[in-house]
Every structure is written in C-alpha cells, then in structure tokens.
Structure 1
Amino acid sequence: MRKILALTLALVVVSCSKDEELSVPKTIAPLPSANVPVQDFMWKAMNFWYFWQSDVKDLADDRFTDSESYTEFLQSEEDPGAFFDNKLLYIQDRFSFYNSDYRELTNSLAGISRSNGLEFGLVQKANSTEVFGYVRYIIPNSDAATKDIERGDLFTGVNGVTLTINNYVDLLFGENNTYVLNMADFSNGDVVQNDREVSLTKEAALAENPVFISKSFEINGITIGYLMYNQFTNEYDDDLYEAILGLKNLGITELIVDLRYNPGGSVNTTRALASMIYDTNTDNLFLKKRYNDKIQDQLTESQLEVYFTDRVGSNTIDPLGLTKLYVLTTGSSASASELLINSLEPYIDVIQIGDVTRGKNEFSTTLVDDRENSYLYTPTRVNKIKSNNQWAIQPLLGRNENADGFYEYTDGLVPDITLKEDYGNLGILGDLNEPLLARAIQEITGVTGKRSFTVENPIEILSSSKMFGPFKDKMIDDTVYDMELSLQ
C-alpha cells in the first residue's frame, strides 16, 4: 500500500437541480461614493464561496454592520491584488489567485497562452542564490521548435544576466516578448555557462496539444502502451480518446501514463481518462466534494458526488478495462494528475514511479463580477459581467475525496518506486532507455535496456515554465451541472 502525504486544485461548478436553489446570503453594499467595485466583488464572492471563509475573520458574515465600516475595509488596500492577498486569504492557502482580466484567465483554461514553446524546469544551485534551467521538451509548431535547442539543454542566464532566486521570474516570465538564453554545459558536477546563445520569441495564443506521445512496445510477448500527457485540457478530449483507442486497438495489456510535467487541469477530462483506463460503470464513485459549511449544508449527498462516465464528447467510451496502471510523476505533477491517481486507487493497482507529486487536492472555480449568476464565470453570460470590473479570482472552494474517503496528501503522493530525474541524464522522451520509462518497463517485464538506475544529479525542482503557464497547478472541475443560485 502506498504511503501518501498530499492535496490538489480544481475548478468546480456546484450541482443543483433546476427546482432547487442555493441561497446566497444578503450582504452590505459600500457607500455610493466609494470607487471600490473590484474589492467589493472580491469580498462578496469570497464570503460565499471560499473554503476557509469561517477561518478568515474579515470574511465573517457578521464582520460588518454598516456601509461605512464595510467601505473603510474595502478602501484599506488601493490595489485589488494586494487586497485579495493580504485581506482575504487563509494563511495556509497556497493556491488561490487573481487576474486583472478574466479573458486572459479563461483563455488559459483552454490551453492558450503567450509562449515561445520552451518547457523547462528550474533548479537552484547548492549553497548559492544562482538558478539554472534545463529543457524538458519543446511544443511542436512553436518558436522554440525552429531553434537550435532540445531536451536536456541547460541555461544559466537571460540576456547576459545570470539567473538567481531573486530575478528569474522577471527575466523568464516578465513582459519581454523576446529574450536570449545563455546556454550552459554540465561539467565536473557543475553547470557552467558556455558561449552559445538561443533567442526565443513568445507567440500570442499558442495552443499545446497535451497528447505529446502515444506509442506501444512489444517486449517479451507483452504489449505495453505509453502515453505522455502534459495537461488535462478538455478541448483535446477527442485527441486523448483517439490515443487511448489507438493503444487498445494495438492490443496493449499494460499502460504507462507519463504525468511527470502535467500541472493539472480539467476534472471532467480526468474522469474521462480514468473511465477510459478502468471502466465506464456510472455507478462507480469517482470523487466526492467538500465545500465550506455554508454551501455544504444546502446540498444533498447526490449533489456532492461525481461518478465515472461512459462518454467523452460525442463518443461512447470503449474502456481498456485495466486492473493495474503505471504512472510516472515528478514534483511538477499536480492537481488533476494527482486526482487521477487518487481516484483510481480504490479500483485498480496504481504503481507510481518517479518523485513525490506537488500535493494539491483543493478545487477552485473562476469567479467574475456577474452577481446575478453568483459570481460564477459562464461563457454564455460574458455580456453580464460588470463592464467596470474585468477582474477574475480563482479561489479554493473545497477538496475532493476518493471513493474510500481519502484526501490527505498535502505533502504529495509518494511513489511506490522512487526515481528522480537526473539533469545530467534526462534521456529522450518515449525512448526505451529514458530512465523513468525504462524503470516502468522493468517493473512490468523484469527486463530493461538500462544497466543502472543510479541518479548522480537528482533534480530538486524550484519551479518550472508550467507554473507560469495556463494551468499552473489548477484542477478545474468542469463537470457541468445545472445551477440556480438565489441572490437575496
């Protein structure tokens, strides 16, 4: 039995039938002369939806008794972002965030972002403030795909400036559309800058198909499927099912799902993938949701439960029917990736290989200033969002439990077989000798092309490009339900 330590994130739509209403309590309005529409929206949305609402003194239902005191509080931070971070968040909340433009956020949920197509990890040098990057993979049809750069390449600077713990965010993820990477070599146990430079330009609306690799291997009479899946993006559900169906048609009896760089995404896609792998029995519980008491007390048991599915898009799922699954993970595997593992655990044997996952089991949703719809972002209601407030927030709304009631893994899901990536020996993704894939194949067949799995330069991840990309480590519960909320 696996030792599990963690927690995850999701975007959720509350389940309510059309003849039932979820009551949203009446709140105080700010003074008419006050210019605080964003702060007012943030407080009211967080007061109702936030999982830790009862733990934040300033979000209490009885916190304000008149418009004057409420307005004074809203005006206590001129910057709405600072107001959200400093006034509304629970101290243990690592994942709630905001965006000043809801369109940028909602586009990101479709896997669309401004990117140069280079996906990389970042590591802090031992006993130093310096940081270096290593290339994980290149998104096809991107700017990086046209440049002389590939998986395993190292870099230590941007535009001639050495990366450090204090400047890497601005240098790599700032507003600059073009930057020059100062490349490096791995020499005598150290990462040393060389003379090579690579110029990269970020493109608007670059979309990544998360089905990165789908292939099979025939080893000792065993047909093994391998799927590298890099985001749970529901816009590509048909591609995902086509990949799984293709592997099924090849007669695979074992499956390795590579989630090592998958930061999360759609719960509905996660449920669909779990159903493709295991079974489409819609009586099997996939997850159960837990909200704050204000919401939880108004919902029935059936409204809190999500079951396996027999459909993906317009397709009826023909499942693999596996009783065992091999999953590759790193510290960058988060939220929906962890949900897939945790929700399948009660039904099949999940063998996790790699490193401890990020640890994120809370779910969230996108909230905007559409008060008639209880602040929920709904694409068909974009014309109802207040024109003087385009901000969006993505607060944690609750947590997910699997069919056994398990949810406590805030320190990450611990692998059954620990094998960290080695930045001195990353290998080629999808190749039989790539270390994590080779270790999974060894576990399945007892045979490996590698002579040793010794890790000489283990990657202790600081951050990655994914953490500044569309999905970060969000878990988006887009299992769509009818919803009707009563605003008083």
Structure 2
Amino acid sequence: MKKKLILLVLICAFVTTSCFEDTDDNPRTATTLEIQNFIYRGLNFFYLYKADKPELANDAFASDEELNSFLASYDSPESLFDFLTVQQDRFSILVDDYIELENELSGISKSNGMEFGLVRYPNNPSNVFGYVRYILPDTDAESAGLQRGDIFNTVDGQQINETNFNELLSQDNYTIGLATLNGNTITPTGESVSLTKQQYTENPVYIAKTLDVQGQKIGYIMYNSFIKDFDNNLNAAFANLKSDNVTDLVLDLRYNGGGAVETAVDLAGMITGQFNGEIFYTEEWNNDRQEEYAENGLFDASISDGSAINSLNLNTVYVLTSDRTASASELIINGLNPYINVVQIGENTTGKFQASFLLYDAPAPNFTRSQANPSHTYAMLPLVFKTANVNGNTDFIDGLPPDIMIDEDYANLGILGDVNEPLLSRALSEIVPGFKPVETRHVQNVFEEISESKANSKLHQLMIAE
C-alpha cells in the first residue's frame, strides 16, 4: 500500500524514552523556529485543508528568508499550529511529547479506572455533575467499589463547574463527592471516594458475550476503542460468537471515540465476511497528494498480524451509539451501510469522517520516527484525508442520525450487557419478536453532556491511518 510508506510504526513502542535519550550523549534543545519549520513543512505537504489556507500554498513565500520571517512572527509552535489549521478542523492536534502519544496509541495511559461523562445541572447550567459510565477492571475505582450509574458532583470538596472540571479531574489524585439524581435534582450524599491514577493498559473489548433471548442466540460486544494492539482480542471475541452460532449481533459503540482505520476495516470483516475485496471506504486527500496517496480501503480476510478474520457473515447489525461515538466508529456504520442493514440505535454520532497519521520532525515525504530530529519531541496528528463509503457518502459534519432514537437516562443507566439495559433492550426488541424494551424517559432536552473522561486523551475522537 502506498501510504504504508508513511510510517505510523512505533519503532520503540515500549522503550521510547531510552530510544530518544540515546540518540545523542549531549543533546541540544531545538529552537522554536526549527519546530515551527517542521509544523509548516508537515502541513504544507499533507494537510487535508491546505487549499483553504493561503499561507500553506506552495508559492506563498518567495524565499526561505520570507518563510522564516513569517514563522518567527508566532511566539510558540502551538500558536502557529492554531493559525495554520482551519476553523472547521476540530480534530488536528500538535503534541510536545510524542513518547506519551505513542503510549496512548498502544492503549497505555494513566487511569484510576473510572470512566465518566460530565453533565450540566438542568437548573443551574454553570454547575456540572459526573456519572460513572463503566469501571475498568483491576483499578483503584474497582477496588473502591464504584459502579456504573454512580453520581458525583464535587472534587476535593469543590463543586464541579463548567470552568474547573478539566483541572480538577486531570489530577493524578483526587476525591469525588457522591450524590444522587432524582428527576432533575442532584443531592449530595455526604460520602466520598478517593482515587489514584496509575499507568494502565485498557483492553477495548470491554464485554463480549452471547445472550440467549427466548431461544435466540444474540452476540453482544461493547467495544470502546479501535486499538491495533488488541486486534487479536477482538478477533477472538468474534471466534467465540461464531462458535456459539449467534444469528444476530449488537455492537455497542456508544462510548467509542475511534482509533485505527485498519482495525475498523477488520471489524467490518468480522461482522460480514462475504464482501472481501470490495470497497469499504474511499479517500480524498489534498490536491497535491490525491493522485499519489489516495487508495480504496477494501474488505479483507485477515487482521494486521496475518491471522484469519473470524467472520459472522451477517446481513444485519445493530449498532448502539451516542454523541460520543466518533471517527472509526462512524466509519463502521457508514462503510457497512451500502452492503448490509445497519440499524443504528441511540443518539446522533459526533460527525468525524477525517483520518490522521503521525508526523515527526523528519524529512518529507515520510516524516518518520526513525529520522526524527532528536532535539525535541514535538509531533503532529493533522487531518490528512477524509473518508467516504462506496456510495460517496461523506461530510456528515452533524453526525450520523440513528434509526431509533433513545438516549441514556443518567438516573437509570442499567447494567451493561444485561438484557434490561435500556439501549440493549431496545435493540433486542428489534431482533426478538415480542421482546419488550425497558421504558426510558427522554433526557436530551433536559441535560447537556459537555465532556467525558476520555476527553483528556490526546487521541480523543481521532481516526488514525498508516
């Protein structure tokens, strides 16, 4: 594949720090101008929206001196990056520590195990409460006995609000104050739980099980991130469903903000299997790169390590979504839609159809880790191409709308993977004749969800290509 020449290969995946430090016994620090020159070169070469930024045109500057003068007019790499990325771009990122970023690409980050959403008080929208979505195994939150559905409204004794939530909850150590939600009223209980973050590797295959509902075998998978290092885990989960002879699948992507494009292609093949070699998605790059780099993403029969995909050969899949469902998750829905019946249940998705890949400060066109400038650790994940399905559907900036609208009731979340969990029960009612779904109240017009625990990840809602 042409774009395999653009390496997102994490050459020193678990020894990145030593790899960086050994490059020079007497390392120097890069100048701001050097880093800004890298940012300009990378965006000039690959940025999807290059044509919308006159300063990125190939003839924008008459000489290197003129370019350097322009770059020097910005006081930091971050301010230059912000200027050169366009207003409609919500997702391109610049980081000053690519070692931390590489770890996140492998699923490694600091976590206390409490995955949560943050919601405005309906009667005082400047204040915020948190609700626990799920608890990661073998973490501090699990040891503390926290559960899905727990409500909290303070951190270290301070009321959470729209301006302090990120600062309070990004700390490595904090204490949450528990509360109850009754109707629209949040009431403190007086109980508190102290939590500590540690380095943690999250398996994104959170739940994989076969449900027996009125004699019908239905697969349920809650998949929370498209991380290539866990492709075998995902494939093994589908092997189990296949051996159980499931006839239907509910794929829960409600908290999945995306990840690797290649894993999305593999997951599409696990759901189907009858379309190998056909187009799953197409690509649109900037005008300078389109002819050389654009290629079709095809359904295939093997995962990244060459293992055969365990395919269910389904003609219908039920996908649970929320407004936090993004990028590679949306690629699954959009890419499968022309081929099989995709029944989307939940909320409108985020609206992220563009892909990125990791650029280091190295020579064009590859911008590789192995050739990275050793005097700094800046790197970029700019948007480089947008995806469309085989019918050309793309640019869904307002997200993908559900076929069946149902939102989560923070006061009645249910147990994930249980047939009485509201979203799952609604899917089961579509599959099993006579199955009655759990009744829920509509809360979207009452509560506004403003952030989540994964928002602190540098990879939040990104779709990563190689």
Superposition TM-score, scaled by structure 2 size:
0.90
Residue 311 (structure 1) aligns with = 302
- Determine if contact 2:321/2:345 at 8 Å carries over to the other structure: yes
Determine helix, strand or coil for the equivalent of 1:185: strand
Return the offset for 1:451: 5.1
Return the offset for 1:472: 0.7
- Determine if contact 2:428/2:437 at 8 Å carries over to the other structure: no
What letter corresponds to residue 464 of structure 2 in structure 1? I
What letter corresponds to residue 173 of structure 2 in structure 1? T
Residue 166 (structure 1) aligns with = 163
- Determine if contact 2:121/2:128 at 8 Å carries over to the other structure: yes
What letter corresponds to residue 469 of structure 1 in structure 2? S
- In the superposition, relative to structure 1, how do residues 67 and 450 fare at CA in structure 2: closer, same or farther (>3 Å)? closer
- CA RMSD in angstroms comes to 2.0
- In the superposition, relative to structure 1, how do residues 147 and 35 fare at CA in structure 2: closer, same or farther (>3 Å)? closer
Between 1 and 2, higher relative CO (CA 8 Å, sep ≥ 6) is seen in 1
What letter corresponds to residue 186 of structure 1 in structure 2? L
Find out whether 1:156 has 2:153 as its counterpart: yes
Residue 221 (structure 1) aligns with = 215
Q: Decide which of 61, 66, 71 is 1:64's aligned counterpart.
A: 61
Return the offset for 1:298: 3.4
- Determine if contact 1:363/1:399 at 8 Å carries over to the other structure: yes
- In the superposition, relative to structure 1, how do residues 182 and 288 fare at CA in structure 2: closer, same or farther (>3 Å)? same
- Determine if contact 1:148/1:198 at 8 Å carries over to the other structure: no
Give the Cα separation in 1 of the matches to 2:161 and 2:441: 29
Find out whether 1:193 has 2:167 as its counterpart: no
- Determine if contact 1:180/1:197 at 8 Å carries over to the other structure: yes
- Determine if contact 1:421/1:459 at 8 Å carries over to the other structure: no
- Most deviating of 182-191 and 111-120: 182-191
- Determine if contact 1:365/1:477 at 8 Å carries over to the other structure: yes
Give the Cα separation in 1 of the matches to 2:275 and 2:403: 28
Find out whether 1:112 has 2:111 as its counterpart: no
Q: Could you list the runs of 5+ residues in structure 2 that have no partner in the other structure?
A: 7-29
Superposition TM-score, scaled by structure 1 size:
0.86
How far does the alpha carbon of each residue in 1:24-64 deviate from its partner, in whole angstroms, 9 at most, with x for none? xxxxxxxxx97511111001110111011111122121121
Return the offset for 1:207: 0.6
Q: Could you list the runs of 5+ residues in structure 1 that have no partner in the other structure?
A: 1-11, 18-32, 479-488
Find out whether 1:184 has 2:173 as its counterpart: no
Determine helix, strand or coil for the equivalent of 2:288: helix
- Determine if contact 2:32/2:77 at 8 Å carries over to the other structure: no
Q: Decide which of 458, 463, 469 is 2:451's aligned counterpart.
A: 463
What letter corresponds to residue 433 of structure 1 in structure 2? N
Find out whether 1:420 has 2:417 as its counterpart: no
How far does the alpha carbon of each residue in 1:349-405 deviate from its partner, in whole angstroms, 9 at most, with x for none? 000000011110011111110115532x44xx2xx2101221011110120011111
- In the superposition, relative to structure 1, how do residues 230 and 13 fare at CA in structure 2: closer, same or farther (>3 Å)? farther
- In the superposition, relative to structure 1, how do residues 410 and 82 fare at CA in structure 2: closer, same or farther (>3 Å)? same
What letter corresponds to residue 177 of structure 1 in structure 2? D
Determine helix, strand or coil for the equivalent of 2:399: strand
Q: Decide which of 232, 244, 247 is 1:250's aligned counterpart.
A: 244
Return the offset for 1:125: 1.8
How far does the alpha carbon of each residue in 1:123-144 deviate from its partner, in whole angstroms, 9 at most, with x for none? 1123421111100001111221
Find out whether 1:122 has 2:140 as its counterpart: no
Return the offset for 1:13: 7.3
Return the offset for 1:452: 2.2
Residue 42 (structure 1) aligns with = 39
Residue 324 (structure 2) aligns with = 332
Give the Cα separation in 2 of the matches to 1:324 and 1:188: 36
Give the Cα separation in 1 of the matches to 2:443 and 2:85: 40
Residue 392 (structure 2) aligns with = 405
Determine helix, strand or coil for the equivalent of 1:36: helix
Determine helix, strand or coil for the equivalent of 2:325: coil
Q: Decide which of 335, 342, 345 is 1:343's aligned counterpart.
A: 335
Find out whether 1:394 has 2:381 as its counterpart: yes
Give the Cα separation in 2 of the matches to 1:447 and 1:467: 39
Determine helix, strand or coil for the equivalent of 2:410: coil
- Determine if contact 1:422/1:459 at 8 Å carries over to the other structure: no
Q: Decide which of 430, 434, 456 is 1:443's aligned counterpart.
A: 430
Residue 474 (structure 1) aligns with = 462
Determine helix, strand or coil for the equivalent of 1:297: helix
How far does the alpha carbon of each residue in 1:314-345 deviate from its partner, in whole angstroms, 9 at most, with x for none? 42124111000000000111100000011111
- Determine if contact 2:409/2:440 at 8 Å carries over to the other structure: no
- Determine if contact 2:348/2:402 at 8 Å carries over to the other structure: yes
Determine helix, strand or coil for the equivalent of 1:316: coil
Give the Cα separation in 2 of the matches to 1:146 and 1:293: 53
- In the superposition, relative to structure 1, how do residues 170 and 343 fare at CA in structure 2: closer, same or farther (>3 Å)? same
Return the offset for 1:459: 5.1
How far does the alpha carbon of each residue in 1:260-298 deviate from its partner, in whole angstroms, 9 at most, with x for none? 001100111111110011115432111111100010133
Identity of aligned residues (%): 39
Give the Cα separation in 2 of the matches to 1:454 and 1:448: 19
- Determine if contact 1:274/1:344 at 8 Å carries over to the other structure: yes
Give the Cα separation in 2 of the matches to 1:250 and 1:72: 65
What letter corresponds to residue 68 of structure 1 in structure 2? E
What letter corresponds to residue 460 of structure 1 in structure 2? E
Determine helix, strand or coil for the equivalent of 2:311: coil
- Determine if contact 1:401/1:407 at 8 Å carries over to the other structure: yes
Q: Decide which of 279, 285, 288 is 1:285's aligned counterpart.
A: 279
- Determine if contact 2:420/2:438 at 8 Å carries over to the other structure: no
Give the Cα separation in 2 of the matches to 1:402 and 1:477: 16
Residue 23 (structure 1) aligns with = none
- Determine if contact 2:97/2:378 at 8 Å carries over to the other structure: yes
Q: Decide which of 14, 34, 55 is 2:3's aligned counterpart.
A: 14
Determine helix, strand or coil for the equivalent of 2:280: strand
Determine helix, strand or coil for the equivalent of 2:427: helix
